[in-house]
Amino acid sequence: MITFFNDSHQAHCPAFEFFRGERVACFETPARAAHVKGRLLERGHILRTPAVDSSPALARVHAAPYLAFLQHAWLDWLDLAAGNDQRQPFPSVWPVRSLRSDVEPVNFIARLGLYSMDNGSPLSAGTWQAAKAGADTAASAGALVAAGHARSAFGCSRPPGHHAGADFMGGYCFLNNAAVAAQSLRDAGAARVAILDVDYHHGNGTQSIFYRRADVLCVSLHGDPLTEYPFYLGHADEGGEGEGEGFNLNLPLPAGCSSALWFEALEQACRRISLYRSDALVVALGLDTFAGDPISTFSLLADDFSRLGRRLGAMGLPTVFVLEGGYAAASLGINAVTVIEGFEEA
């Protein structure tokens, strides 16, 4: 499978994050993409450098003030105080219920909170460069498939994207690559696009971007938000609003669910996508459903990822894969390539 890969992902390399009250090394690291790249090359897959500028799609799925903030955030942080090049910024205040979010503060930390859903997306000097390169990989994969040059393509990038909403970052995500891929396909002429998110965590950002649209169907199977991040979105009763009513399907699953139960949900997801009569499919390929993942509780194994790929391939749709989560870094490359090779087998 043709894969778009950009080494600029390495520019995003924060030193630490906070996990369960502790300062720890980041789970989302450059090693994740390096393992995937290594496995792709080992298996003979073609790697290309992204050549499509994602800016038009980004302008359609993200708010302009948020994009401007993100592009300049690190320089604004450096301007705030001497020595900030040796520190990482984290938000410490958020505009929760009864507070205003329609006025952008001047204070940098307040703006960081305005555009963040949590403190789980540490910034570094190269965050914008890496995130924009990731969006370009998604747009390039979408353009290749939309032009009919390949039935499928893989946008392999980090940081991931599905928690990023129109005007906020969160959960390691800054720009929503799945949304960029879907919007690129729409702009290239696909009347209907389906997004299938198989990450352990609900793609709250993707859902919120398309929640009032009927031209992009969002389907997600994920850990139940009653107990699993992102907690505040991803419930089964969230079906879309306005023109988008009926075009969002959430399939929350209990922590520790078996592979059998997971594949039952996948089958339900595939049936819904087939009924939608989609012109193209975007797969938000989160691999933190793996039994060995350090921050998730599902139990999929290597053979299950091959089965996933074969089931997606059997749908017969032009398909764009974008890499999302998966934090057992050494296994990530094997699992990602197993999915796409299963897809190609079908």
Determine phi and psi for 288, rounding to 5 degrees: -85, 10
d(CA 130, CA 134): 6
User: Distance between CA atoms of 244 and 87, rounded to whole angstroms?
Assistant: 42
DSSP state of 153: E
Active site residue 149: no
Tokens coding 234 = 């991803």
How many Å separate Cα 77 from the centre of its chain?
25
**DSSP H helices in the chain:** 30-42, 55-61, 64-80, 108-114, 127-146, 177-187, 204-210, 259-276, 302-313, 329-345
Beta strands at 319-323 and 152-156: parallel, antiparallel or unpaired = parallel
Kindly name the residue from 12, 163, 201, 202 that is annotated as catalytic.
163
Integer CA distances (angstroms), 7 to 10, 127, 233, 293, in order:
6, 13, 33, 24
Strands laid side by side in the 3-5 sheet: 47-48, 3-5, 152-156, 319-323, 280-285, 193-197, 216-223, 248-253
Alpha-carbon distance of 52 to 72, in angstroms, equals: 22
Q: Which are the catalytic amino acids? A: 163
